[in-house]
Amino acid sequence: MAAGYLLKEANFIDRPLSDDEMWSAFAYLFSSKSVNDTSYKFGFLKAIIDNLYNTDSKLILTFDQLFAKFTEIYWNLVLKHHIRQKNPGKLNRQSELEKALIYGKEKYGILEDIPFESLINDMQIDICHKVKMKCKENVVGALYADLGGLFYSFSKSGEWIQINPRMYEFVCKHKVAIEKLNYYEWAKFLEKVNEDSAVDHLLSKIDESTMRTRSSLAYYRDILFEEFENKCFYCGKPVTKRSVEVDHFIPWSFIKDDQIWNFVLACPECNNRKRDKLAQVDFLNKISDRNEILIERDHSSEADSARRIKMIYDWAKKNGYNEIWTPKKTTV
Ligand SMILES: [Zn+2]
């Protein structure tokens, strides 16, 4: 399957898979046998990983979802840190991705250091569209082939991928490890194609570039406060709109996304003590019931993701989030 990038569409291989087989698919992708002219495969895999919980019930992700993340990741790496994503050689060649980002920056007269999420919506959409049109041709089929046709089906004309349910489960279980392997190989590639000075502190630059600045949570606070209880989700203490804090029920560091189905209102004390931990399982049941009401009242367009919170909790545990927090006193 050498010329994967030429495929217009393909289906994942549908047969039972052992964990060993799934690990070897990733081992191949991260080996020197997988050839890279650009860093796209690493960026695209990262975009899929960051969208794992945004699939619909058939595990479909659209190119628009994926390339929005992809563009955001590269915006900082390319424009802020000036890290090349392709060997420039003597002719100072740029990848199509770099051209598309520079096009967007120049078209809108954007300054170097403005983070992608601060651009107004229309600019973001335009730039993502440009990146998608330039990059989808090569990367979607190439990553498909490098993972042995096991990870997803895709259609370039339909602009979607559909993740193999067997691989989905596996990747969710080993998300943190796969993400770290991806970073490591991505960094190795970038060291090869960049000048020394560009790649100082490379791993932290990649990490920072893939980390969305947390958005303002006031919008979610208001919905939850007005429609649900004005008590701390954990200890039951009464809270006011001014004193209440918005807590990511599944830690933000694991989920890296702001979705209403993962938010609860907490008093500052509980929020501060819970930090990066999971809450005990009673609270998982409580948020799960709450999410059903959210869906009913139409506050969560992501019903499939909202219903997956119990699975995500379990995956977080398997990925090293095994310290379980309990509030001091509870009146639940
Ligand atoms: Zn509390």
> What is the C-alpha to C-alpha distance for residues 157 and 151, in angstroms, rounded to an integer?
19
Q: Give the distance (Å) from ligand 1 centre to CA of residue 233.
A: 7
Q: Give the distance (Å) from ligand 1 centre to CA of residue 299.
A: 24
- The pLDDT value recorded for residue 154 is 98
Secondary structure of residue 279 in the 3-state scheme: strand
Q: What is the 3-state secondary structure (H, E, C) of 170-186?
A: HHHHCHHHHHHHHHHHH
DSSP code for 214: P
Triad 293, 299, 303: Cα angle to 5°: 75
DSSP code for 248: E
> Are 202 and 76 contacting, i.e. CB atoms less than 8 angstroms apart?
no
Q: Give the distance (Å) from ligand 1 centre to CA of residue 223.
A: 19
> Are 21 and 168 contacting, i.e. CB atoms less than 8 angstroms apart?
no
Q: Give the distance (Å) from ligand 1 centre to CA of residue 281.
A: 16
> What is the C-alpha to C-alpha distance for residues 142 and 139, in angstroms, rounded to an integer?
5
What single letter denotes the amino acid at residue 322? N
Q: Give the distance (Å) from ligand 1 centre to CA of residue 147.
A: 45
Rounded (10°) CA dihedral 25, 317, 161, 259: -160
User: Beta-carbon neighbour count of residue 197 at 10 Å?
Assistant: 7
- The pLDDT value recorded for residue 36 is 81
Q: Pairing between strand 278-279 and 9-10?
A: unpaired
- The pLDDT value recorded for residue 1 is 47
Q: Give the distance (Å) from ligand 1 centre to CA of residue 286.
A: 15
Tell which residue, 133, 189, 142, has the closest CA to residue 45.
Answer: 142
Q: What is the CA radius of gyration of the chain?
A: 21
Q: Pairing between strand 278-279 and 324-325?
A: parallel
Secondary structure of residue 34 in the 3-state scheme: coil
Q: What parts of the chain have a pLDDT lower than 50?
A: 1-2
